[in-house]
Amino acid sequence: MSDFLPFPDDSPHEECGVIGVYAPHEDVARMTFFGLFALQHRGQEAAGIAVADGESIHLHKGSGLVAQVFNPANLEPLKGHYAIGHTRYSTTGSPAARNIQPFLIETMYGPLAVAHNGNLVNAGELRQSLLRRGIGLSSSSDTEVLTMMLAGAHGSTWDERLRWAMPQWQGAYSLVVMTRDCVYAVRDPWGFRPLSVGMLPSGGHAIASESGALVTLGCQAIREVMPGEIIALSNKALTVSQALPPMAPLARCVFEHIYFSRPDSYWDDRWVHHVRQHLGEELARELPTPADVVIPVPDSSTPASIGYAFASGVPFNDGFIKNRYIGRTFIEPTDSLRKQGIAMKFNVISDNVRDKRVIVIDDSIVRGNTSGPLVHLLRQAGAKEIHLRITCPPIKHPCFMGVDMGTYNELIAHRLSVAEIQKHIACDSLYFLSLEGMMRAVGRTDGYCQACFTGQYPLAIDPNQTKTGFEKAAAS
Amino acid sequence: MSDFLPFPDDSPHEECGVIGVYAPHEDVARMTFFGLFALQHRGQEAAGIAVADGESIHLHKGSGLVAQVFNPANLEPLKGHYAIGHTRYSTTGSPAARNIQPFLIETMYGPLAVAHNGNLVNAGELRQSLLRRGIGLSSSSDTEVLTMMLAGAHGSTWDERLRWAMPQWQGAYSLVVMTRDCVYAVRDPWGFRPLSVGMLPSGGHAIASESGALVTLGCQAIREVMPGEIIALSNKALTVSQALPPMAPLARCVFEHIYFSRPDSYWDDRWVHHVRQHLGEELARELPTPADVVIPVPDSSTPASIGYAFASGVPFNDGFIKNRYIGRTFIEPTDSLRKQGIAMKFNVISDNVRDKRVIVIDDSIVRGNTSGPLVHLLRQAGAKEIHLRITCPPIKHPCFMGVDMGTYNELIAHRLSVAEIQKHIACDSLYFLSLEGMMRAVGRTDGYCQACFTGQYPLAIDPNQTKTGFEKAAAS
Amino acid sequence: MSDFLPFPDDSPHEECGVIGVYAPHEDVARMTFFGLFALQHRGQEAAGIAVADGESIHLHKGSGLVAQVFNPANLEPLKGHYAIGHTRYSTTGSPAARNIQPFLIETMYGPLAVAHNGNLVNAGELRQSLLRRGIGLSSSSDTEVLTMMLAGAHGSTWDERLRWAMPQWQGAYSLVVMTRDCVYAVRDPWGFRPLSVGMLPSGGHAIASESGALVTLGCQAIREVMPGEIIALSNKALTVSQALPPMAPLARCVFEHIYFSRPDSYWDDRWVHHVRQHLGEELARELPTPADVVIPVPDSSTPASIGYAFASGVPFNDGFIKNRYIGRTFIEPTDSLRKQGIAMKFNVISDNVRDKRVIVIDDSIVRGNTSGPLVHLLRQAGAKEIHLRITCPPIKHPCFMGVDMGTYNELIAHRLSVAEIQKHIACDSLYFLSLEGMMRAVGRTDGYCQACFTGQYPLAIDPNQTKTGFEKAAAS
Amino acid sequence: MSDFLPFPDDSPHEECGVIGVYAPHEDVARMTFFGLFALQHRGQEAAGIAVADGESIHLHKGSGLVAQVFNPANLEPLKGHYAIGHTRYSTTGSPAARNIQPFLIETMYGPLAVAHNGNLVNAGELRQSLLRRGIGLSSSSDTEVLTMMLAGAHGSTWDERLRWAMPQWQGAYSLVVMTRDCVYAVRDPWGFRPLSVGMLPSGGHAIASESGALVTLGCQAIREVMPGEIIALSNKALTVSQALPPMAPLARCVFEHIYFSRPDSYWDDRWVHHVRQHLGEELARELPTPADVVIPVPDSSTPASIGYAFASGVPFNDGFIKNRYIGRTFIEPTDSLRKQGIAMKFNVISDNVRDKRVIVIDDSIVRGNTSGPLVHLLRQAGAKEIHLRITCPPIKHPCFMGVDMGTYNELIAHRLSVAEIQKHIACDSLYFLSLEGMMRAVGRTDGYCQACFTGQYPLAIDPNQTKTGFEKAAAS
């Protein structure tokens, strides 16, 4: 989960969370607000809600956390039975208001709103094709590309138009699409990003990026929107259609298990917390290490640490305290404060590590700028040995399907060997869970994208078409 | 000039002011800011500035007065040599952020920014045509229609593309269009709305809705952008081309003289203040009325009152004080405060009207809700006789070319005769300047649109395509 | 009236406007809001309203224009029958939140709220005396001094306590004081600053700095609160008591007539607009000058220009256009824009001055930084001769009674002779109305403070105790 | 740690955190900002920083989280070598701007700034005494009482004045006091609230409510400010004086260990995390309970749960997920959403509790409105047995020394027996740690206030003088 403090954050970043609701007996805007709130960890830059009442669509969106963007006064006009919502990850590159979702347009088929989690790898080509058709584009977002393609899609129903467009979209898309009287869930055939649907106790259904948000809304009978499926929620019925055959194998993002998803979410028939515990257990089994305590880097590594302790017998305890008051500050420590070791985000509980051999569990190493300072804090607190254990293999390749891992140059494991990284971090030992160990913890042999570890992308990548590419184009 | 106080404002409303700058040796964003500031009376809802640096275009826009929308921090990134700006009139119907100008899009020909003063009478038809081409539209503004048409325009240069589009645009358009390295001024062949160009002392040129704004920027050699002309400002040269032949006769909006323009603006070879004085003189000549004092309804009627005094010998004096602190307030007087005659916007200088026969000069009567309270205030202050004189004929027809006059039903002169209006207002006499008198003051026999007085529109009107129509469509 | 544009403003600045209301059948907060709105010209920095309901006092205050500080949500909790309000002039020195009025404190006698227009010349001494009593002071305002003195005043009623304090207060004070069930108007015995009271049509009374604001509220039977008087408004009765004998002669501030007050205000049995016309007439009589047109510097000099035209036969006309959109902007023109003669606040109507001998009427010259640029604008527009006429004598001395004239060094007439000022301004002639002429226009031979012209202060001044002094102390 | 979501929060509330800095080679405002950031959990309503430069004191304060109140622009003017800061707990009763700390006043001895953590039990009496001296008070805060007493304190130095005042202050006060060239730490002789001092690596010292904040600033040689001590930080030296003898026994607040303090803080020679682990161990020992898993109510109960697991052998795991995005929202779920069991703040990790006998550890039960819903969530998730264990005895009495426990009527353990509470919560068993067990975990037999459990207050309480009393008085 991202944060905004001066202390660097070395986790990959999820792009977005989406939600869709059809609830004939509820205040759908309020329900969508609470759903977005439960998906806040998937994006803290901006949020938006669009509501349809059978005739028109009304929209409110803005920059900031969900609770900052919405208030009773701006929710109040969002009346209707259908809603979609979006919460967006904070990139430094393109925080522009015009990129905030949902997108709302009028088309020859009526009004249309779209919210998207994912990334199209052929967005550059699709964008050029729209421009050549004489269409003006006002954002750098591939969601505008998706939306404009739907405005000109062929077909006599929205279901047909979605089926016309889907084969042209290469990459990750978990979409919620709303017309004046229907909410559609659409998921790419690879199944990159999660999407689930559940039944609301008061009637109707809800769609969300994670099952945990559906539970928050009281949903029952929750199931995944399957790869390649379109699910339509309306006052007639919930209809499910398999628009594209699912890819074989699928290419689910394993980082949902490792880092992104709420621990209480359920995906691919597994509880995320359970998978994380197993990641810790596998680590303990792959490289047994004599130690006095195992501590997590809070918060995402706590379940893996518990699992490590179960499997190894090394006692689990807290080692770091993380400041919970997450919020943007533009105030940076002076160099001199920094040199004194000002520890903004984490403090150590010295009592728990002094004179001890410490196993530290972290979820991943991306740019490699956080682990060193954490190890330094432990040393200052008197730890005798520091053994860093990572719950996934080294990340050597960027993601082009919607996760911000940084570029090749930014990835420390692309530039350095494990031994070199250990030296850089200055820990006593460093071990990354093996690919096989990770998959054992997930409990699958295939069906997951492993491109960031192996460089074998599940579909052809033209790096000129990546999002960075669009943004340059859009700004020029 | 509009205001936002509970006291009703009964003037027609101008839609917008535009400005364009090419200034190779200046801070163009700052210059555009000051130009917009001088056009603030043409629109108080929202403002925006786009700046091009030869490569890309950067934009900032927002709701509020020019001085509220811009500050040093948000002007700072707007670097370049080219700029366009827009200030927008406050309607209650569509204050949405998505309607704020300039519009900025990427096209197959590169980035494009557009700001518009006017109204297309065939916007509905053009909009449908865009939708049928599979384009999604995100605002209710006819400016988006203009902009999207340019994105798909034919031609190998922007000059050709503008010439391709102009014949399709029926109605009023005084446009500034910016590419990455050129600013274009484009004016419809009827010449509805004003647009002028001048030479900047430090090099380069500026375009503005009114010459008064160009004077504010220090411009010299100011002339009109002529009806049907395209003027291009770039680092090569200022080029002028007659894209469409001017209509014969032209159809300039006479309300620029009567009410909209700054008194120091110069249009159609006349000073606006001078025309206004003559409007007062004509009123004095058409219906000589024995009186002790002539007073204006501030501020726009002061020049006409001075003219009336010159021509009639009746002494000019102030009669009303207008609260200058113009700003939105959402606080309304209670009914009981209202009943007590709480006078928010105007107070009377009793001393100047008590026991006197008073001539009151006002620019126009649109809905007819202001004159009655003003007459009542004068009566309370002891005026012996009250003779209301209006510097134009009765407004009986709506404007479809960019002035918000209200609908047929809202126009008091559409519903009531002059005698009935006088009774409604409860003044001792009421006289509207004749069409001929008004044109004598303007000093022309033709070349002006008189549709709001006569119902004879200079081009065919399909009321289903008026802006109200679009907005309904866009919201649905 | 002050403004915030980069173009300098060379008028003296009033410190404040106050209002008090007892209205048993009205929404007093809303009424006070509208009253403050009518006094907005007396102070644009900050505003506040306190309301008493017989038990407690509730307060809202903040920085900005009245319409910016208040909205329906923050007015709503201000319930009661008694209210006082304040609007404060913008100084650059002490815009601190802690100086915003009304002040509200709890005392041993119950809650007390105070709002003040004026300045005590012995505030420094009184302040030291409070500090020596062991009282901590949290602002640099002499209003806090007044308020704290009342908290410790002797007497068994508030009337007695006010009578105990008044003899100790040297200088200008037009106060409104509110307890939990009474509003008091208190005016110093010199009568420096105005204060009036009127009867509300729905019952109760209102007090305001200017009668014009009382008219706005619908008041009848308006009269001055006389120098030295205390007037109490409560549910028992309106009671008037002469707490201190009025000074002989009085020392009313003549600048209320010249510049500060609304033209529709009535003070010392004169209409301000009427006095201003007479100031112009006196100017015409004292120095007849052949000319083609007389023009005002808008807005305050319009009545004097009308008077000048009446008396001289020279025709009155507009010469300058002033941008009405008053609002703070922190954006300044670049030097190069400034050098080109960018004219932010005023434009000239060239047509009315070209090839003409022009009389320009202005209310005063304080620092002398505005007249030169105005004369320059007229020259550029082709004026043949420019004769500047000022409706008061040269200001050679600072005011210590609540008007911000600047320091001795800042006053141009303290440093330069009239001939030197004329040279500085570069006009063809410059004439200041004589003291006698000014008093003839006012229609009085004495009763007015003339200290800023003559240096003869109506009471002893210790410059170390002036407000500038306090502020230094408070900040240290 | 408090939060603002619709899901009720049943923890006691700490009033404040304070910080003081003397750092001759640092940006003290920035350092204070980071210190307050580390104390954010002690108060989220408002924050302020005052800085002294040897001559004057400058202050900025406002409502909101520390990161919301401060930005580089408002920190920038806070130049100097001395600083104090305050962060304030959000009460609903008195969120008024006038109560935000630090307080800054001018006194006869120069400027003085004060920030306070605690509550005086005789504040009402002291307040009346100030009022009787003729002092006006503008807030309902007992900090203003402290501050005004210092303004009138006897003595020729601030040390003497503090010593004069301290014996009059009955109750809890951990103060930072700043003059123009010194920062004082002052702690009451009971030692109710914590206060520590440490040496800054670049020279100078810092004071903070918790040692964890001093570690964040890089401090070394951290020790408590002892009960009854005054510590002065200045450019001369750090001086320590025992102004009042420490009470015997002391009356430290045990809730700092149980709930308030950061787990990495060190107090009374103990690490808070360590004490919390022991609280869990004692619970396990006092009532052994067969179970399958022990889970904390996040976040404060995690250490106790780890301790419980150690002592009992029952495995520790996560059971609840808490939404980390803490922030005010005024949007409440509809009744129907609430009835469906919308779970805003907590979700259950079903996998970890289904079909299990679950021990739930919580820190305290105050009003008793949270435990029931948590138990309900566990039941829904399939827990077989639910055994709730509380790390302190039942809270039967309010706190008058600065902790918001609610009134007698609000305290569930004042109204109901443990059996009745268990029935209300609907858990299978409920056990509160014994007073003795709690003290064993703390490792002391005395020196702690136990009044909220026993009703035996360490000093005489007059309930009419409690803060609620003042606030009523101040508002009246």
Q: Is any Cβ of chain C less than 8 angstroms from the Cβ of D342?
A: no
With CB atoms and an 8 Å threshold, state whether B135 touches A131.
no
Residue-wise DSSP of C293-360: EEEE-TTTTHHHHHHHHHHH-PPB---EEE------------HHHHHTT--SSEEE-GGGTTT-EEEE
Residue ranges of chain C that CATH labels 3.40.50.2020: 267-454
pLDDT band at A332 (very low <50, low <70, confident <90, very high): confident
CATH number for the domain whose boundaries are A269-454? 3.40.50.2020
CA–CA distance, C41 with C14 (Å, rounded to integer)? 9
CA–CA distance, D272 with C146 (Å, rounded to integer)? 51
pLDDT in tens, C341-377: 555 678 899 999 999 999 999 999 999 988 998 999 9
End-to-end alpha carbon distance in chain B? 32
Q: Which residue among B16, B219, B253, B399 is the active-site one?
A: B16
Contact criterion met (CB below 8 Å) for C397 and C411: yes
C77 sits in the region (left: phi over 0; alpha: psi -120 to 50; else beta) called: alpha
Which residues in chain D have Cβ-Cβ distances shorter than 8 Å to A321? 212, 262-264
Instruction: Kindly list the distances between the CA atom of residue C7 and the CA atoms of C4, C318, C333, C344, C388, in Å, as whole numbers in the listed order.
Output: 8, 20, 10, 6, 19
Which residues in chain B have Cβ-Cβ distances shorter than 8 Å to C324? 1, 41, 299, 324, 326
Residue ranges of chain A that CATH labels 3.40.50.2020: 269-454
With CB atoms and an 8 Å threshold, state whether D137 touches C55.
no
Is 80 exceeded by the pLDDT of residue B122? yes
Residue-wise DSSP of B96-135: -GGG-S-EEEEETTEEEEEEEEEEETTHHHHHHHHHHTT-
Instruction: Kindly list the distances between the CA atom of residue B126 and the CA atoms of A82, B147, B189, B470, in Å, as whole numbers in the listed order.
Output: 31, 11, 18, 11
Chain A residue with CA closest to D324: the answer is A324
pLDDT in tens, A47-70: 999 999 999 999 999 988 898 899
CA–CA distance, A435 with A444 (Å, rounded to integer)? 11
pLDDT of residue C325: 67
Instruction: Kindly list the distances between the CA atom of residue D356 and the CA atoms of A469, D104, D293, in Å, as whole numbers in the listed order.
Output: 52, 57, 7
Contact criterion met (CB below 8 Å) for D415 and D400: no
Which residues in chain B have Cβ-Cβ distances shorter than 8 Å to C352? 273
Residue of C30, C318, C347 lying closest to B303 (CB–CB): C318
With CB atoms and an 8 Å threshold, state whether B318 touches C340.
no
Residue of A103, A106, A137 lying closest to B106 (CB–CB): A137
Residue C150, min C-alpha distance to chain D (Å): 8
In A210-261, the DSSP E strands lie at 220-224, 229-233, 238-242, 252-253
Q: Is the peptide bond preceding residue B245 cis, with omega within 30 degrees of 0?
A: no
Which residues in chain B have Cβ-Cβ distances shorter than 8 Å to C343? 215-216
Residue B134, min C-alpha distance to chain A (Å): 3
Q: Is any Cβ of chain D less than 8 angstroms from the Cβ of A208?
A: no
- The model's pTM is 0.89
Contact criterion met (CB below 8 Å) for C371 and C388: yes
Residue A405, min C-alpha distance to chain D (Å): 23
With CB atoms and an 8 Å threshold, state whether D108 touches C134.
yes
Of the CA atoms within 13 Å of residue A60, those in its CB half-sphere come to 18
Which residues in chain C have Cβ-Cβ distances shorter than 8 Å to B274? 351
Radius of gyration of chain D (CA): 23
Q: Which amino acid is at C88?
A: R
Considering only CA atoms, which of D151, D471, D127, D94 is closest in space to residue C138?
D151
pLDDT in tens, C369-406: 889 989 999 999 999 999 999 999 999 999 999 888 88
Angle in degrees, 0-180, between the axes of helices D435-442 and D272-286, rounded to the nearest 10: 140
CA–CA distance, A134 with C397 (Å, rounded to integer)? 70
Residue ranges of chain D that CATH labels 3.40.50.2020: 276-445
CA–CA distance, C145 with C136 (Å, rounded to integer)? 11
How wide is the angle at C-alpha B84 spanned by C-alphas B81 and B88, nearest 5°? 155
pLDDT of residue B90: 54
Residues 6+ apart with CB under 8 A from C420: none
Which residues pair with residue A182 across a beta bridge?
A: A179
The chain-wide mean pLDDT, for chain C, equals 90
pLDDT in tens, A7-24: 445 766 667 999 999 999
Q: Which residue among A16, A253, A449, A452 is the active-site one?
A: A16
SS3 category, C440: helix
Q: Which CATH architecture has domain D276-445?
A: 3-Layer(aba) Sandwich (3.40)
Q: Which CATH architecture has domain B267-448?
A: 3-Layer(aba) Sandwich (3.40)
With CB atoms and an 8 Å threshold, state whether C108 touches D476.
no
Radius of gyration of chain A (CA): 23
Percent of the residues in chain A that have a pLDDT greater than 70, as a whole number: 89
Residues 6+ apart with CB under 8 A from B436: none
Which residues in chain B have Cβ-Cβ distances shorter than 8 Å to C317? 277, 306
Which residues pair with residue D29 across a beta bridge?
A: none
Is 60 exceeded by the pLDDT of residue D201? yes
Which residues in chain D have Cβ-Cβ distances shorter than 8 Å to C153? 134
Chain C residue with CA closest to B306: the answer is C317
Chain C residue with CA closest to D470: the answer is C106
CA–CA distance, D296 with D389 (Å, rounded to integer)? 10
Chain B residue with CA closest to C76: the answer is B331
Which of B273-287, C221-235, C240-254, D320-334 is the least confident region? D320-334
Considering only CA atoms, which of D134, D138, D139 is closest in space to residue C161?
D134
Chain D residue with CA closest to A43: the answer is D325
With CB atoms and an 8 Å threshold, state whether A107 touches B136.
yes
- The whole-number average pLDDT for the span B70-93 is 85
The dihedral formed by the CA atoms of A421, A425, A431 and A435, expressed in degrees to the nearest 10: -50
Chain A residue with CA closest to B145: the answer is A136
b/e per residue, D168-187, with b = 16+ CB within 10 A?
ebbbbbbbbbbbbbbbbbbb
CA–CA distance, D348 with D378 (Å, rounded to integer)? 7
Considering only CA atoms, which of B179, B226, B195 is closest in space to residue B84?
B179
In chain A, the largest separation of any two C-alpha atoms, in whole Å, equals 72
Residues 6+ apart with CB under 8 A from C106: C112, D131, D136, D137, D138, D473, D474, D476
Q: Is any Cβ of chain C less than 8 angstroms from the Cβ of B41?
A: yes
CATH superfamily membership of B13-251:
Aminohydrolase, N-terminal nucleophile (Ntn) domain (3.60.20.10)
Residue ranges of chain B that CATH labels 3.40.50.2020: 267-448
Residue count of chain D: 476
Is 50 exceeded by the pLDDT of residue C470? no
With CB atoms and an 8 Å threshold, state whether C138 touches D104.
yes
CA–CA distance, A419 with A425 (Å, rounded to integer)? 10
The single-letter DSSP state of residue D315 is P
Which residues in chain A have Cβ-Cβ distances shorter than 8 Å to B110? 476
- Phi and psi at C257, nearest 5°, equal -70, -45
* Residue of A60, A321, A328, A348 for testing the chain D interface, max D β-carbons within 10 Å: A321
The chain-wide mean pLDDT, for chain D, equals 90
Which residues in chain B have Cβ-Cβ distances shorter than 8 Å to A107? 131, 134, 136
Residue ranges of chain C that CATH labels 3.60.20.10: 13-251
Is 60 exceeded by the pLDDT of residue D194? yes
Contact criterion met (CB below 8 Å) for B36 and B23: no
CA–CA distance, B366 with B411 (Å, rounded to integer)? 6
Residue of C75, C271, C351 lying closest to B351 (CB–CB): C271
Domain C267-454 CATH (choose: 3.40.50.1820, 1.10.287.1080, 3.90.1640.30, 3.40.50.2020): 3.40.50.2020
Contact criterion met (CB below 8 Å) for D48 and D86: yes
Would you tell me which residues 383-412 of chain D have a C-beta closer than 8 angstroms to some C-beta of chain A?
none
The ipTM of this complex is 0.89
Radius of gyration of chain C (CA): 23
- Residue D449 among the catalytic residues: no
SS3 category, A357: strand
Contact criterion met (CB below 8 Å) for D34 and D218: no
- Phi and psi at D184, nearest 5°, equal -110, 140
Is 70 exceeded by the pLDDT of residue D341? no
Which residues in chain A have Cβ-Cβ distances shorter than 8 Å to D32? none
Judging by beta carbons within 10 Å of its beta carbon (0-12, 13-18, 19+), is residue C69 exposed, middle or buried? buried
SS3 category, D254: coil
Angle in degrees, 0-180, between the axes of helices C371-380 and C418-425, rounded to the nearest 10: 50
The chain-wide mean pLDDT, for chain B, equals 90
Residue B288, min C-alpha distance to chain C (Å): 21
pLDDT in tens, D291-308: 999 999 988 899 999 999
Residue D125, min C-alpha distance to chain C (Å): 12
The chain-wide mean pLDDT, for chain A, equals 90
Strand D357-362 relative to strand D293-296, pairing? parallel
With CB atoms and an 8 Å threshold, state whether A273 touches D351.
yes
- Phi and psi at C276, nearest 5°, equal -65, -40
- Phi and psi at A73, nearest 5°, equal -70, -40
Is 80 exceeded by the pLDDT of residue D339? no
Chain B residue with CA closest to A181: the answer is B476
CA–CA distance, D343 with A216 (Å, rounded to integer)? 5
Contact criterion met (CB below 8 Å) for C448 and C442: yes
CA–CA distance, D340 with A336 (Å, rounded to integer)? 53
CA–CA distance, B141 with C31 (Å, rounded to integer)? 40
CA–CA distance, A60 with A85 (Å, rounded to integer)? 10
pLDDT in tens, C180-203: 999 999 999 999 999 999 999 889
Considering only CA atoms, which of C248, C268, C246, C247 is closest in space to residue C257?
C268
Q: Is any Cβ of chain B less than 8 angstroms from the Cβ of C40?
A: yes
Judging by beta carbons within 10 Å of its beta carbon (0-12, 13-18, 19+), is residue C467 exposed, middle or buried? buried
Radius of gyration of chain B (CA): 23
pLDDT in tens, A390-441: 999 999 999 999 888 888 999 999 999 999 999 999 999 999 999 999 999 9
Would you tell me which residues 94-133 of chain B have a C-beta closer than 8 angstroms to some C-beta of chain C?
none
Residue B382, min C-alpha distance to chain C (Å): 14
User: Is the sign of the CA dihedral A357, A360, A366, A372 positive or negative?
Assistant: negative
